[in-house]
Amino acid sequence: MIFIASLLFHPSLRFLARKLHRRLPAFLLAAFTPRLRGKAPMTTRVELRKVQVVDPNPSKFDAPIRLHLVLDVFEKPPKDAIDVTFTWSPVWDFPVDQELDEMEVGPFTTLGRHEFTIESDPPNVADIPDPTGPTALIVSLKYQGHEFLHIGYNVTVTCEGDLPDVFTSADMLTRHIGKCYPKLRDISWDAPSPATASPSDSDADSTCDSADGPCKRAKRETEAQS
């Protein structure tokens, strides 16, 4: 009995334990069946191959923000779409963070390489006390509430001419999206969602079909399976 039990714990001999599974006594089956059959959610590796600013850089402050991303997905593709959010975050004015846009990309139905372009509205300059201060642009990619890619940019905003006391227009402002700082995390596509309840497929689709809503679906330009 001790020899058989040791087989169940030894990774290199586990295939022998499976063959003996039907011949084990009932008390050993009850003790070791979870080890033989239980499976944890598969952790998937995602690699960011490329991210770049699509539009001229520097550009006008009130111009849309467009980024092109290239991702490699290994081991298992997700079943649902990916949620993307853009956030404009002045470093010294945390209360005036602006969520610029949110959208969906995908779903990525195949393993391998996926390329897509995402576009966000610019920030509202009237809501920023000093738009020329140090600023971060944050792009977050989440799957069912779990963030697996966090992209941060340093942004420099310059003003042509004298700084006004209050900015009511972005005509004098130019932005430069600088160095990129991506952070990747392994993701289990089939892990439970942190939300207590998830909307149905029809509800999820309807949130991005309205032209008046804050959400829009990003266009996937190309997709290739490696």
Shortest CA distance to 183 belongs to which of 125, 138, 123? 138
Q: Helices 2-9 and 26-37 meet at what angle, rounded to 10?
A: 10
pLDDT tens digits in sequence order for the chain, 226 residues long: 444 444 444 544 444 444 444 444 443 433 443 443 444 445 667 889 999 999 999 999 999 999 999 999 887 788 889 999 999 999 886 678 899 999 998 888 888 999 999 999 999 998 888 888 889 999 999 998 889 999 999 999 999 888 888 888 888 999 999 999 999 888 777 766 555 333 333 333 323 332 333 334 444 334 444 3
Q: What angle do CA 48, 53, 58 make, to 5 degrees?
A: 150
Q: Are 55 and 74 in contact (CB under 8 A)?
A: no
- Convert 159-169 to b/e letters by CB count within 10 Å (16 or more is b): beeeeeeebee
d(CA 33, CA 48): 39
* Domains, the chain, with CATH or none: 46-184 (2.60.40.1490)
d(CA 117, CA 221): 7
Shortest CA distance to 45 belongs to which of 68, 78, 67? 78
Task: State if pTM tops 0.85.
Answer: no
d(CA 189, CA 178): 31
